[in-house]
Structure 1
Amino acid sequence: MGLLSAKQRMGAAALILAASTIVSRLMGLVRDKVISWQFGAGGEADMYFAAFVVPDIINYMLAGGFMSITIIPLLSRRFQEDEDDAWKFFSCVFCWMGTASLALTLAGMLAAEPLARLIAPGFTPEQWLRLAFFMRIVLPAQIFFLCGACITALLFMRRQFRVPALAPIIYNGGIILGGLTLPWLAGLPLVQNALPASILKHLEGMTGYCVGVTFGAAIGTFILPLMVALQDGMRLRAVWRHPLMGKFLVTALPLMLGQTIMMLDEQFLRVFGSLVGDGAVSLLNYARRITQVPVGLMGQAAAVASYPFLVKLLTDGDREGFDRTLRTALRASLGLIIPCALAMTACAGPILGVIFQGGRFGPAETLAATPLTQIMLAATPFWIIYMVLVRAYYAHGDTITPAVTGTIMTVVCLPIYYYWAVPHGAWAIAALSGLSVSLYVLWLMALWARRQGQGAFAGLCGLALRATGCSLPGTAAAWWLSAYTLSRAADLGLHALWAALLALALGGCAFLLLFLPLCLWLAPSIMEPVLRKLRRT
């Protein structure tokens, strides 16, 4: 009965987080659609995307994205032993996180102009000034992200998933709201009469989206979780020393110091994309957004929700159950992502046409972004494996191996990006991004197999080959049919959006009609999780 309850709680947590991920990813696409419609690829959009490089690195340096991994095991045990002391430990972590994030944010704001030249060496002096302005607006969001990560970890520990699930939705909503309302407010006669022209000029363009980033982070990731935690009895006080801080730092430092290729992948696209030419940063960003949607939908929610339960299996000494759970998660994720990635590769042009084309993002931008998207989609199976496998490492208390190997891969790739990828253009940057991620994940898999055995990977290669084989006929048909539909759109008198929708629908149907029978015949285990859920409904 206890095991059944744990499974039910894990399923409910995964369902809540999955729903949040779906909505937030869709809102992220809406956000990028609005940006691409208004600003296309290049100019303001390049500077906006580049403005996140330094804030994201600050987040990585303080391990904000891994706060639940580092603090939950220590905090859970301390609450079982001494609740009052547990609150002291939590307060100590919160105080230091707030202080460190505030110090780094202020330093980044003061050094915004030289940092702008460093992270976007291909921009012009005028663009550096605009980029520095954007960075100063976006940087304070990290204070809310990092302090909010402490509170969110507390909520996760107490199995309160609903409020953290709202955070990305509110964050994306804040960006869209800021981007649409600030220019409107700046255009009101009352505001124009009250403010000088020099200030009004700064409110144009994408300034509203930058304001929305900080506003959305403040509300969604900090204020709302803080209110819920306070109502639930959170006791926060000024504490600067605690015996457990040493253990916390031992766990967190590898994540703070190890700037892995997975963390910096998006930043490399922005930094080295600025050296390729106007619009490359935006095109690479739009392509990456598309490729990360299936990764987030299929891997993120399950990985985050499963981590506390993987820890419990190890704590209970159930090694066989741990391997079985990890193997099931890897097989289910990989079996779904491979056909999804191949189908999206075949229909990449129509997908970009439906989501982004319009306004200042014209057919030329869609054509330029299509091969970048297809190249990046090749690495999505490795992203899925990483999201599941890295939490298995963390469940074992091993944060050093992923950090050290990922940092080595980063150091190796830096000169290749600069001396090979940049001269060859945006496609080479996209290709190196996917190759470096794939090699890093294969390295992690090899290390895991050597240390923990190959039980978690049993049958994984065969499943991947069967999924690929079942998907190839549908991929070829979808590719030809979608391309043919787009080529005949002008003859049929179809608007670009309707042509893309028709091409996407026909290509998707062709893929499914060929893939599903082959899959049910040659690889029924891929569809089993889906069929099981359909039977329950």
Structure 2
Amino acid sequence: MSKLRIASILFLLSTFFLKFSSMLRDMVIANLFGDSYVTDAYIAAMTIPNAIILFMLTGMKDAFLPSYYKYERLGKGFSHLTNIVKGTFWISAVITIVGVILSPLLIRQLYPNFNEHGTDIAVWTAVIYFLSVAIVGVNAVYEGYFDAQKKFSFSTFSQTIVVLCTIGGALLLHRQMGIYSVPFGYFVGTVLSFLIKLFYLRPRHFLLWSQPLDRKEVSSFYMVFLPIGLTTAVGQVNLFVNTLFSARLGEGVVSDLNYAFRLVNIPQAIFGVTIATIVFPLLAEAKTKNDMRLFKVGIEKGLIYMFLFLAPTVAGMLVLMKELVQAFYERGAFTASATAQTSEYAVLYMGSVLFYSIQAVIAKGFYTLEKGHYMLRVGILSIIVNIIFNAILSNTIGAAGLALSSSLVGLVYSVITFTTLYNISGGFRLAVIGKEYAKIIACAAVMTIVLLFIKYNLHAERLSLIPYLAVMIISGAAIYFVALWLFRVQSFKEILTKGRIKKVSASRETGEL
């Protein structure tokens, strides 16, 4: 069994566990605090520092991997790691100090409709999350380093620790601290994640402690990182824009939109991000060899395998959305009325799952070619489009328009990024991609029709909730796999015959998928 296959399987499993724990965190918050103004204040406040945190976490990994490979070929990989860790720590520390000082002013200016208690919650939530940024920056560099070593699962494990501590903080301390227990748990998890990395690598292999900081090398890295990080933060900026609009639409809107977004984001994070992350080292290898054919086949495979897993998941969630929201959220402080609202928003968010998953694979191509500035330009355009769509749709159809806006913006974003990469890379085999997509869509459509028949004609919905979901999910998976076999989907055939995604070099020889 190849090292890449083992790493891919471990990464997929660890990603499943990460998303499960993230979903469990949201379920705990929904159970304890529901969609009250307290939850609204927490979510609205954490969106601001969270944009910076994701800027560091995801952007750093995308920028560090090709940069590390470049220095590693020169025998300077560990030295480069040391420089980036030290430089990132000082930059993150400055962001922390500025964020903590400005949080009271920002919250009051951005969310004037919050009552006094809600404002206090929002201010302290922002402060605690900003205190985490200094450590998050260092964690992000090492997670990029582990990805460069193809230790994808360890990187995901360290993020899972943070989520589990957040859950633990909420469960153990909510009576004493209220909603503050959630950001406090996150801060503790961030520190623990750092200590685990330090223990795993051991201090002398953690970095070259005595090496002076090479400011020129750090500056060169950040010239590449900034457009990548800012591009990564675009999604959070758009989410922040949505929060600004939703905070003015009444109590519970911010929370219900957030719960809906978190739920539908699961397949994107599991399949879209996972496939993109696994493909990234292959693209970096192609860039190192200056082999554009290998690079293009890697992108094609990433797009096809992502869609192979994503299409049935999206279709199934659309059929079962209300029941999924009930199963995940409806207990404790989360009522049936919150379920109805969240389900409506979740359906309208589903387009963003597909489009941003496509964009996740495409983005790796830009970063590999060191063309991240293209993504940044499109990202800025998407923010402008999002503001326009939010203003129009929230005024016409209310809060549901904010969820619909995310899907429309995702469509614009993915179309522009795909066509741009297509042009600068010399084009992809659109016939191959289109043929596979058409077959996969047909299989997902067959699955959807049969599930609707089971639901309404065989009255499967009369079962209690969990058995009903189990029957529908198992039936859907079985129908989809049979359809894949009947339609002779090539990517599915590869999985059956090889048990893994073929190395892209094999495709170079045959010219086939």
- TM-score normalised by length of structure 2: 0.89
What is aligned with 1:362?
A: 335
What is aligned with 2:108?
A: 117
**Cα–Cα, structure 1 residues 485 and 111, in superposed 2: closer, same or farther, change >3 Å?**
farther
Letter in 1 for 2:385: V
What is aligned with 2:34?
A: 40
> Once the 2 structures are TM-superposed, how far is the Cα of residue 423 of structure 1 from its aligned partner?
5.3
Contact 1:350/1:482 (<8 A) preserved: no
CA distance in 1, matches of 2:319, 2:133: 38
**Cα–Cα, structure 1 residues 336 and 164, in superposed 2: closer, same or farther, change >3 Å?**
closer
> Once the 2 structures are TM-superposed, how far is the Cα of residue 292 of structure 1 from its aligned partner?
1.3
CA distance in 2, matches of 1:443, 1:535: 31
Letter in 2 for 1:110: I
- Report the more deviating stretch, 149-158 or 437-446: 149-158
What is aligned with 2:472?
A: 507
**Cα–Cα, structure 1 residues 485 and 286, in superposed 2: closer, same or farther, change >3 Å?**
farther
> Once the 2 structures are TM-superposed, how far is the Cα of residue 435 of structure 1 from its aligned partner?
0.8
What is aligned with 1:277?
A: 250
The equivalences for 1:125-136 within 5 A come to 125-136=116-127
- Report the more deviating stretch, 292-301 or 66-75: 66-75
**Cα–Cα, structure 1 residues 14 and 246, in superposed 2: closer, same or farther, change >3 Å?**
same
Contact 2:279/2:302 (<8 A) preserved: no
> Once the 2 structures are TM-superposed, how far is the Cα of residue 89 of structure 1 from its aligned partner?
4.1
What is aligned with 2:423?
A: 450
What is aligned with 1:70?
A: 63
CA distance in 1, matches of 2:168, 2:459: 34
Which blocks of at least 5 consecutive residues in structure 1 are unaligned?
Answer: 187-202, 490-497
**Cα–Cα, structure 1 residues 486 and 403, in superposed 2: closer, same or farther, change >3 Å?**
farther
Q: 1:94 aligns with which of 85, 89, 93?
A: 85
Contact 2:443/2:483 (<8 A) preserved: yes
Equivalenced residue count is: 500
What is aligned with 1:460?
A: 433
CA distance in 1, matches of 2:276, 2:12: 10
The equivalences for 1:219-368 within 5 A come to 219-220=192-193, 222-231=194-203, 233=205, 234-237=207-210, 239-258=212-231, 261-368=234-341
> Once the 2 structures are TM-superposed, how far is the Cα of residue 157 of structure 1 from its aligned partner?
3.0
Tell me the alpha carbon deviations over residues 452-507 of structure 1, each in whole angstroms, 9 at most, x when there is no partner. Answer: 23325443233333322332243244346446899975xxxxxxxx7222332343
Q: 2:354 aligns with which of 381, 396, 399?
A: 381
Contact 1:260/1:405 (<8 A) preserved: no
CA distance in 1, matches of 2:98, 2:291: 47
**Cα–Cα, structure 1 residues 214 and 423, in superposed 2: closer, same or farther, change >3 Å?**
farther
> Once the 2 structures are TM-superposed, how far is the Cα of residue 512 of structure 1 from its aligned partner?
4.3
Contact 1:349/1:367 (<8 A) preserved: yes
> Once the 2 structures are TM-superposed, how far is the Cα of residue 318 of structure 1 from its aligned partner?
2.5
The equivalences for 1:43-192 within 5 A come to 43-59=37-53, 63-83=56-76, 87-183=78-174, 186=176
SS in 1 for 2:202: helix
> Once the 2 structures are TM-superposed, how far is the Cα of residue 40 of structure 1 from its aligned partner?
1.2
Letter in 1 for 2:104: E
What is aligned with 1:25?
A: 19
CA distance in 2, matches of 1:387, 1:304: 9
CA distance in 2, matches of 1:54, 1:176: 21
**Cα–Cα, structure 1 residues 327 and 276, in superposed 2: closer, same or farther, change >3 Å?**
same
> Once the 2 structures are TM-superposed, how far is the Cα of residue 303 of structure 1 from its aligned partner?
1.9
**Cα–Cα, structure 1 residues 369 and 486, in superposed 2: closer, same or farther, change >3 Å?**
farther
Mapped pair 1:470 → 2:443? yes
- Report the more deviating stretch, 401-410 or 513-522: 513-522
Contact 1:379/1:435 (<8 A) preserved: yes
Let me know the Cα RMSD of the aligned residues.
Answer: 2.7
The equivalences for 1:483-498 within 5 A come to 489=462
CA distance in 2, matches of 1:443, 1:326: 16
Letter in 2 for 1:178: G
**Cα–Cα, structure 1 residues 508 and 37, in superposed 2: closer, same or farther, change >3 Å?**
same
Tell me the alpha carbon deviations over residues 137-158 of structure 1, each in whole angstroms, 9 at most, x when there is no partner. Answer: 2221221111111222233334
> Once the 2 structures are TM-superposed, how far is the Cα of residue 121 of structure 1 from its aligned partner?
4.6
Which blocks of at least 5 consecutive residues in structure 2 are unaligned?
Answer: 502-513
**Cα–Cα, structure 1 residues 154 and 522, in superposed 2: closer, same or farther, change >3 Å?**
closer
CA distance in 1, matches of 2:34, 2:457: 26
- Report the more deviating stretch, 511-520 or 145-154: 511-520
CA distance in 1, matches of 2:257, 2:145: 36
SS in 2 for 1:111: helix
CA distance in 1, matches of 2:155, 2:91: 23
CA distance in 1, matches of 2:436, 2:257: 31
Point out the structure with max Rg over C-alpha: 1
- Report the more deviating stretch, 459-468 or 134-143: 459-468
Mapped pair 1:522 → 2:487? yes
- Report the more deviating stretch, 283-292 or 90-99: 90-99
- Report the more deviating stretch, 434-443 or 368-377: 368-377
CA distance in 2, matches of 1:502, 1:88: 55
**Cα–Cα, structure 1 residues 135 and 478, in superposed 2: closer, same or farther, change >3 Å?**
same
CA distance in 1, matches of 2:309, 2:397: 33
Contact 1:346/1:476 (<8 A) preserved: no
